[in-house]
Amino acid sequence: MIDSLTEIANRRRYDVAPEDEWRRCGRNGSPLSLIVVDVDHFLACNDHLGHAEGDVVWRRVADTLQQTGGRPGDLVARYGGEEFVMFLPEIDTVAGEPLAQEARPGVEAQQIRHPASPVPAWVSISLGGKTVIPGDATAGPEFFRGADTALYIAKATGRNKLAWR
């Protein structure tokens, strides 16, 4: 349930988390937010600096996200490929957007060099978020798809941004 490289939750842990929180938030009428995070131009970084430096990037981004979404009940996980997720029970859009905005400059402030980036000279992240108030339905792929679609909007409009749906 823990990603061996980043030492945060892994995809398997994320896959089991939403259902319980979905039901709990649904019972309470509480919001639930999901943020999908992508390391901008990571493949170019990894190709240019090598896999060892790429692993350092993963760990430092994971640490920043973990510090940002660090309340009990929050789940920050390595989703796979170049993506992380932040699963935030009882966080609405009003609280979720600033939290996501905090993560973005947190990564940028570390100034992890990324000489192959066409944007800044250091590693940056793009984020997509979605908030729902769960109903009777089970947590389905459409919740993730909404946040993922927002991520692709952030990437398509220049990267190093947040988009929320």
Residue-by-residue pLDDT tens, the chain, 165 positions: 999 999 999 999 998 877 888 888 989 999 999 999 999 998 888 888 899 999 999 999 999 999 987 788 899 999 987 899 999 999 999 999 999 999 999 998 988 888 877 766 889 999 999 999 987 665 668 899 999 999 999 999 999 999 998
pLDDT reported for residue 90: 94
Q: Do the Cβ atoms of 131 and 91 come closer than 8 Å?
A: yes
**How many Cβ atoms sit within 10 Å of the Cβ of residue 140?**
11
CA distance 23 to 30: 10
Q: Catalytic residue among 19, 21, 82, 83, which?
A: 82
Domains recognised in the chain with CATH numbers: 11-164 (3.30.70.270)
Q: Is 82 a catalytic residue?
A: yes
pLDDT reported for residue 52: 92
Residue 75 sits at the vertex; the CA angle it makes with 98 and 21, to the nearest 5 degrees, is 100
**Entry pTM:** 0.93
Locate the DSSP E strands across the chain.
32-39, 75-80, 83-89, 125-132, 162-164
pLDDT reported for residue 73: 84
Closest CA to 47 of 119, 117, 144: 117
DSSP-based three-state secondary structure for 112: coil
